[in-house]
Structure 1
Amino acid sequence: QPDSLRLKQDTQIRAIVQTFHSTIIQYRGHYITVRPRLV
């Protein structure tokens, strides 16, 4: 029982981290795309 609960928490944390990473990648891509126009 505790193992399944811990596994569920790990899955949720992994999903949050994955979303965080994808958001950073999108932000960096947007920044790289916008920067040349500003410079």
Structure 2
Amino acid sequence: MEIVGYEAVHMKTSHHIHLLQRYKRNYQNTNQGNPKRF
């Protein structure tokens, strides 16, 4: 149970980090005058 819970949290955290990185990249592109949709 602990391993499954840890993997679930790790996957959720990794997905969250991926979304943050994509958001930062889109935000920078918008600042450069090249808006990109999610």
Query: Do these two structures clear the TM 0.5 threshold for a shared fold by scoring above it?
Result: yes
Report the TM-score, using the length of structure 2 for normalisation.
0.83
Q: Which runs of 5+ in 1 are unaligned?
A: none
| Matched length | 34
CA RMSD between the two structures: 1.1
Q: Whose radius of gyration is greater, 1 or 2?
A: 1
Residue range with higher mean Cα deviation, 26-35 or 5-14: 26-35
* Bigger helix fraction: 1
Give every structure 1 segment of 4 or more consecutive aligned residues whose post-TM-superposition deviation is greater than 6 Å.
none
Q: Which runs of 5+ in 2 are unaligned?
A: none
Q: Which has the higher contact order (CA 8 A, sep 6+)?
A: 2
Residue identity (%): 0
